[in-house]
Amino acid sequence: MKSAQLTHPKITLPKRAQDPFNPHPVFPLWSPWDVYPYPYYGSVRKYETRETYYMPTLENDFLRVTIAPDVGGRIWDVYDKVGARHVVNFTNQVDSYNAGFGLNYTTGGIECNYPLAHACTTNRKREVSSRVNPDGSASIVCSEYERIWRTRWSVTYTLYPDRSYLELRVRIYNRTPFDSRYMYWNNCGFYLTPNTQYIFPEDEGSMHGQELTTFSWPLWRHRDLSMWGQVPPEMLGLYMLNAAEPFFGYYDHDAQYGLVHYGDLADVPGKKTWTWGTDPAYCDMLRKTHHGLDKVYGEIQSGRIVIQEHLDRVPPETEMEWTEIWYPVRGTGAFNGAGPGAALRAELVESAAEHSVLNVAAMGNGRFPKARLIVVSDGMAPVERPFALDPVNAAEATITLKGQAGPAQHTQVFLKDADGCILARARLRAPNRRDSWKEPVDFARPVKPVGTEELFFEAEKTARDWGNHDLRPVYEKVLAVDSGFSPALRELGKIALRRGEYDQAVAHFAKARQRDPDSMELRYFQGLALVLAGQVEAGRRLLELASRYHWEAAALTRLAELAMREQDWHQALKHLDRLAGAFPRLTRPRGLRTACLRKLGRTREAAAEITAVRAVDAQDPFLQFEALLATPGDAGPRRPARTKLLMDAFTQVWLEEPAPLEAAFDYLSAGLFDESVRITQMMDPEPGPLPLFVRAFALSKLGREKEAARALQDACAADVTYQHPWQLEFIPILEWARATLPKQPRPVFLLGNLLMARRRTEEGRQLWETAARQGEKHWLLFANLGYYANRVGKDAKTALTWFRKAEKANPEDLYVIVEIAGLLNSTGSARDVVRYLEARKSAVMSSPRVAYALLGAYLKLNQYGKFDALCAEVDFRHNWQIAGPHSLWMPRHYQEAAQLIEAGKPDAALAILEGLTGTPAHLGVQGASDAVEDRRLYHMGRCHEKLGRPDAARECWEKALDVPHFTGYEHAYWYREWSRRYFQALCLQKLGRESEANTFLDSMELLAHTHDLPVSAKKSILDMVERGRFASEHLKDPLVAEQLKVQTRAEE
């Protein structure tokens, strides 16, 4: 069979964009997620453009796989050449919007996420390389340095010449001195039809966003949740619990087609289903907003951990790697068994004491002409027969067994190849008849933890949660009970390290070791803290004592770095030789080993070492730069070509996120200042301030003060937009810059950013204020102080002053304009907002959020003419999620209609309500929740009533009662749907059905007293209940009340 083919096309696609990225740093105190230094995706405008993407492909006789390294490294398409269809959620355009940790969720294909779900780079460029392998397979490798924990990861996509599966080899490597956290999820989208089935062999799932809420699977509320046609209207994600089988997938019964995921449960025990629900209006919206081919899709996901919202921990200098595969099946039916070589459906059609009949249908993902089918069951001899498999046609067989078979007899069906390797296995299982919906739930309040271990357990639960948490207070609660509790002190020490408070870290670890003196982990971290605090010899002694067991690699790497700083290459090489022998896949210490060999003049050994280590990670900039230095003859004629290759690798990533900067810090950690200077010189011809500060610092360490001074001046003059220091190494660099240029505010400003990001809040604020007093004029500094004053200090007037300064420094920043409008609304009046925004027409016309602020002010002032005139001018047809005119179109007409009714003009109000059929397309895509039909019908009935048409009024109110509502699974759905059902209660009152109306209002009152709702939602619900029970008719509809949206935990 011919080799797999590798091609390198570029494809131009429509892109629904929200670029540019938000330039304001994502500080944890006022951001939904703690993802600094990543910027959030833009959230002030949405438009359509066209962009050309590099999309390399892998192809064999069975599959054509397209990878999109320019869109987060995802699998853009898997096309089944035999079945002539797309296996995954293929779309012909790039759609990104504000969801996920980077607020940049992008639809399409199979999304690989690390270190967070819907990661911050899910729609950004990742490093990419490709190769044709000696066995005839072909691979595409996407990789990156992630910025939050500074770890490195890659996924290698491989297609083999004779197989119909796509292999993913995932590598995660914590190359830092610290613990890191992460989650990994492989998220596959696929087209849905009513007869599409989610194939998961588990019996129970934990709800996305509410992990303590579990659903029986597949039966829930008399619905088969595995069948998309029976899924309720609302979106639902389930993490499958107690996985015992290493497969899952989907099957389209109409097309007799499916997809299988197989992965060892020791590697990827996490499994997840996701559906947007089946509400027709919402699905229609999804076809417009999420897809270019008018499709609705679902998702099936594999994960490194069972609950996606949990963060796993990776110790320093730790690497892990695993494989998982995806492959299509046809004609098998809903498979109940799968493995690395095939998927099968085993169905017991007859079972009696005398004999049983078993039907088996299977498809291989390769050609296995000598495969065997084996059935084993308690009480009978195994039955075996030939069963040839291939990736083109399903094979079928009917097996008659002597005796009774079934779940009680532990009947299993195996498919094995000629060598006896298991290709697939199916265990006959009894259907799960449990329906958890009808099981009573105990709402008893949980016992408040009071003991040391209980409090520590609660702290650890918070630490593993994917949310934005300040962890110091939760661990300090433990010490309030037991001040010497070693595990809490250990974690507080690690937090202090992450904050750059090294003396505090030393104190925490020292106290922890009083109770646990032999802990290698504590020895390592106290030694590291001592070194970082400047107590090098004391730190070295502890690191030497820590170089045992699991901590050997991390401790030896730190010791090697210390020896290299002292230019003791032989001692460093001793440690690094030991590491290379014991941990050959840890690429960073092997890169340091190459440098040591090079320094000792052992160039051939250095070249061999770097060649070997780059076989593990060829794209690591540190290794690439070291390869450039270590290759013999690097000054010869081939040098320019090698330099170009290196530069091409560097420029694969975004210029505001220069991965080579990490390589510069690798050299700094080992005292190799000259290499650090050279690597910053190879970066962009006009680098940002961060590499320039590193260059200046390294030059100073080399004694090249004049060059250092020039580089430092250049660093202070460079634009800091999208350039936010995040590495702890920048603390001494910026402190040195501040001491060198005491009147220059730029290092002070940037140091304030770094400390604010590390939750050293007051220090960060004070540094910002100092920079402002010293004359810093950058608009981001003023905006930072504005955000702090508003979100942390709760001082709207001071915030407004700072944002005014930011706007003066940069009048084009739409985010600042939105903030000023919001502050004017809260500190002044709607007229202030109107005056401000009407003077900024270009901003209003370019951003739906700015237009929304102005239109909201018009509504408060009942200026409907101005509202309509502005709506006639704007064009936001591609927007749907960002607040904009489409969000206010329906409320504007409800408001005017209610006012006309009150003014004695019901005929005019009725004309408005009857003509309110939807939002004009140019204002944005109308969401499924924008049109509250209950509300419209209620007010139409009031109009007819006042016009003396009781039958027409009754017809409207009764029609409103037929509007369906599904109250969903979580608090956001409850609030939204009962806020609408409120108008059904008002209709019942109008119909004289007071008892039924009171039932609705009683239910709302009970809802307002549940602990799941936020306080603002409880107040809103109770306000409606009070209006419904006691207010006069014209006050029953809270028309001008601020619209409240309860944040769903789902991924809207």
* Contact (CB, 8 A) for 168 and 112: yes
**Lowest mean per-residue pLDDT among 135-139, 320-324, 641-645:** 641-645
Residue 902 pLDDT greater than 50, yes or no: yes
Q: Classify residue 792 by its DSSP letter.
A: I
What tokens appear for 653 in the block? 């990533």
Query: In this predicted structure, which of 288-302, 617-631, 962-976 has the lowest mean pLDDT?
Result: 962-976
Tell whether the model's pLDDT for residue 1051 goes beyond 70: no
Placement of tokens 């007093």 in the chain: 773
Q: How far is residue 609's CA from residue 595's CA, in Å, rounded to a whole number?
A: 10
Band of residue 1045 on the pLDDT scale cut at 50, 70, 90: low
Nearest Cα residue to 100 out of 116, 111, 89: 116
The mean pLDDT value of the chain amounts to 94
Q: Pick left, alpha or beta for residue 703 (phi over 0 → left; psi -120 to 50 → alpha; otherwise beta).
A: left
Q: How many CB atoms are located within 10 Å of the residue 991 CB?
A: 17
Give the mean pLDDT of 6-14: 98
* Among 89-93, 402-406, 443-447, 681-685, the least confident range: 443-447
Tell me, what's the pLDDT at 636?
A: 43
Residue 131 CB partners (closer than 8 Å, separation 6+): 6, 138, 139, 141
420-439 residue pLDDT tens: 999 999 999 999 999 999 99
- For residue 653, name the pLDDT band (cuts at 50, 70, 90): very low
> How long, in residues, is the chain?
1052
Decide: residue 865, CB within 10 A, 0-12 exposed, 13-18 middle, 19+ buried. exposed
Instruction: Answer whether residue 1042 shows pLDDT above 70.
Output: no
**Contact partners, residue 222, CB within 8 Å, separation at least 6:** 435, 437
Write down the pLDDT at residue 631. Answer: 77
Confirm if 588 and 663 have CB atoms less than 8 A apart. no
Which fold does the domain 5-328 belong to in CATH?
Beta-galactosidase; Chain A, domain 5 (2.70.98)
pLDDT at 641: 57
Higher pLDDT, 955 or 440: 955
Q: With 70 as the cut, is the pLDDT of residue 9 above it? A: yes
Q: Which of 843, 786, 790 is nearest to 812 (CA)?
A: 843
Q: Contact at 8 Å (CB) between 294 and 283?
A: no
Give the helix, strand, coil percentages of the chain, each rounded to 5: 45, 20, 35
**Banded pLDDT at 402 (limits 50, 70, 90):** very high
Instruction: Tell how strand 318-330 and strand 185-191 pair up.
Output: unpaired
Give pLDDT tens digits for 531-567: 999 999 999 999 999 999 999 999 999 999 999 999 9
Q: Give the confidence band of 513 by pLDDT, cuts at 50, 70, 90.
A: very high
One DSSP character per residue, 898-912 reads: HHHHHTT-HHHHHHH
Output the six-digit token pair for 985: 């209660």
Contact predicate 235/1052, CB 8 Å: yes
What tens digit of pLDDT does each residue of 202-260 get? 999 999 988 999 999 999 999 999 999 999 999 999 999 999 999 999 999 999 999 99
Per-residue pLDDT reduced to its tens digit, 476-508: 999 999 999 999 999 999 999 999 999 999 999
Structure tokens, 516: 């646990």
CA distance 583 to 552: 10
Mean pLDDT in residue range 891-903: 94
Contact 683, 723 (CB under 8 A): no
Query: What three-state secondary structure class fits 259?
Result: strand
228 in Cβ contact with 279 (< 8 Å): no
701-720 confidence digits (pLDDT tens): 999 999 999 999 999 999 99
603, pLDDT greater than 90: yes
Reading phi first (left if > 0) and then psi (alpha if -120 to 50, else beta), residue 114 is in beta
Query: What SS3 string covers 563-627?
Result: HHHCCCHHHHHHHHHHHHHHCCCCHHHHHHHHHHHHHCCCHHHHHHHHHHHHCCCCCCHHHHHHH
Q: Encoding tokens for residue 247?
A: 């497969």
Nearest to 257 by CA among 303, 214, 205, 195: 195
Closest CA to 186 of 81, 259, 244, 236: 259
Q: For 335-374, how does the pLDDT look when each residue is reduced to its tens digit (9 = 90+)?
A: 999 999 999 999 999 999 999 999 999 999 999 999 999 9
pLDDT over threshold 80, residue 652: no
Give me the amino acid identity at 109. Answer: G
Nearest CA to 1040 out of 848, 852, 899, 854 is that of 899
> What proportion of the chain, given as a percentage, has pLDDT over 70?
95
> Measured in whole angstroms, how far is the alpha carbon of residue 55 from the centre of its chain?
22
Domain boundaries, the chain: 5-328, 341-427, 932-1052
Instruction: Tell me if 512 sits within 8 A of 486, measured CB to CB.
Output: yes
Q: How far apart are CA 4 and CA 997, in angstroms?
A: 67
Gap between the Cα atoms of 1049 and 1001, Å rounded: 26
The predicted-structure confidence for 268-285, as pLDDT tens digits, reads as follows: 999 999 999 999 999 999
Which CATH number is correct for 341-427, 3.40.640.10, 2.40.30.10, 2.60.40.10, 3.40.50.970? 2.60.40.10
In the block, which residue shows the tokens 């109008």? Answer: 990
Question: What pLDDT, in 10s, does the model give residues 735-749?
Answer: 999 999 999 999 999
**CA dist., res. 201 & res. 269, Å (int):** 13
DSSP state of 85: E
Answer yes or no: are the C-beta atoms of 518 and 545 closer than 8 Å: no
